[in-house]
Structure 1
Amino acid sequence: TRAIVDDVAARGDAALLEATRKFDRLDITAAGLRITPAEIDAAVAACDPKTVEALSFARDRIETFHRRQLPKDERFTDAAGVELGWRWSAVDAVGLYVPGGTAAYPSSVLMNAVPARVAGVPRVVMVVPAPDGKLNPLVLAAAHLGGVSEIYRVGGAQAVAALAYGTASIAPVAKIVGPGNAYVAAAKRLVFG
């Protein structure tokens, strides 16, 4: 895992694409990493409308819950006449790791994307492996409903490294969330800090 993370940190897209070819059996160019709005629209259209409605209902409930958790800014003047306070602000960008392949976790997309949006994160980036080029339409629909800004068809340690260090195609993020296998967890530990 360390070798993959170090390689992506050093060589960017070239290492990211090599690892994606090797581990996800996906021969892709840098131009094909980002999932297009047309692909997202097609994925949403391919889903059962009742399932999309259920995802939308879940999104609304998650948003309602997390809005109640938002911390409040505070300003006050102390006894000496000094104005004091604190202000909460969101990070600039967050990365969501979403497992792909045989597992599909649209609920995980919502549970990570919606709180970030509620917190005011302006850029929510999702990475999801596309073994043999296949992506689950429900995962893309959940990303659309959850307000994800960018989606890239990469996974594994190489995706975590790309989110942490950035490449020519994927700008770095301040925080990485979401479940993954042992390699993803190890990569997250390596890039932490």
Structure 2
Amino acid sequence: MEGSIVPLPEVIALKKKYKAYLYLDEAHSIGAIGPNNRGVVDYFHCNPRDVDVLMGTFTKSFGSAGGYIAGSKQLIALLRHESHAHIYGTAMSPPVAAQIIASMKIIMGEDGTDEGIRKIEKLARNSCYFRQKLKQEGFVVLGLFEGRARFCISASHTKELLDHAIGAMCEVGQLVCLRFSRLPRQMEEITYDDSEDENLE
């Protein structure tokens, strides 16, 4: 969520050295980064079996509801038996499950198109553009652990929508004195090539 990525190979090395357990939250990375869009483990080409508990959500990249926990059969059996969230929860509805499966197929390219990879590339482009423009306008853009404004950028956003949001941020930021970055306001012009986006729905 802060835009940073854990140095997973080093953490795995420490886990093995000290015989610790490793829990990895992929909620903001699954379906968004890595050569196969499978998150931080994929990004660093690590073995998923080196992570004891993998957790993620189906609400972001998959546009659905719920989440998952992956691990050894022993761990999953323990969670099914002891977890209050599982015991008192309800089963995932068929439409929700169908949405997740369809999204996974698109992201992995198993739907016969390159739409998934193109959307993920556009998401990265949108995120970089939005972040750079906010910096250019004098906003401090980093992981603050206090009050913050959180933006959810999507591949569906056009440059015009992003510019409209940035304009609104500039107006409000000026009124409440939030534009106090020491970076120079006149940074080089940010390019945004949306020529490949016409066929994205």
TM score, norm. by length of structure 1: 0.21
More helix by proportion, 1 or 2?
1
TM score, norm. by length of structure 2: 0.20
More strand by proportion, 1 or 2?
1
Rg: which structure is higher? Answer: 2
Between the two structures, name the one with larger relative contact order (CA 8 Å, sep ≥ 6): 1
